[in-house]
Structure 1
């Protein structure tokens, strides 16, 4: 919906949901039973499901009706972390490494999956929250942005801060993953600072936007009344 694309078919997305839903369950059972065959079957289904998800995203981007925007940047970055997670998962499963290295690979894989989901959520929040705020403002009679133009979703957050959020979150997750792989608590801490900074930025940005529009509308109404 928020990507504003209408594909003729959504087969890849349906396969992604089915394979991931089934594969995760099979993988979990295989790990509990310590069965390499079941683990391999579940892991293969999960990897193929992720591939279908990426194919679905590519299809959505190709079918878009508007130019690439902020949400696409978040999704492209999150997908890059998904690819990293897949590579780390395969390496953890197949590489002939010792227990400590395998543990770091698995931990980095989990962090990469968290980055994939986190960045996708942050990107969609920049669509969903303004959508809700726009509806609430329109219901209160606010129809114009501080610039005097008709109110748009983009008026409810600052694009520069949104881009800074993308940089901070992407860099933070990347540093956290690198820190896990090299075993550096300092690098992990720096990554945590980046992620926390992104959280502060996105919260402040999405809260201040509607307030800025509301104050501008109140000043405009007061000026009109005085005139």
Structure 2
């Protein structure tokens, strides 16, 4: 509002000064063609008009300076307020960016720690996998060895069964021991005597001796 009022007042002063100069000029011209006292009066009026015009001019200049200083002060205040606002905004932005940077750094540190833990866990899992594979291979080898041994034992058993089947007589007869004394002798690992076998007076025949040889091992017969 002051910036609009001052130009209007300065226009009024400028118009007053212009009118005064015109009037003084006309009075001076009119007095120039008259007697000497009119010339002197016209000169005095011209001097007074010039002084008044100078005073109005200096007043206008003073007001212009005041207006200029006021505008400069207003501009400086506006610039200071803008600079302060810009500084506050910049500090807020810097603080926001700093907070976000710290948050991102903490998040990155957490992710790095988690990644390191996952790498350690992965390394442990790989070690466990290698150990499990080695144990599996060892057990597989052991199972293969046991299967081979089982097959070998099965083949040996089949061979022994075949040998027993080949050694068994087609019609084997069991020689009964006539008395308990002969059975007791056999249980003690000895060959019964003829008196123990045939104590009833029945003497052995060639067939009986052949059956006896078949039913007792060779080493027992040799010892007998």
Instruction: Give the TM-score normalised by the residue count of structure 1.
Output: 0.30
Q: Which has the larger radius of gyration?
A: 2
Between the two structures, name the one with larger relative contact order (CA 8 Å, sep ≥ 6): 1
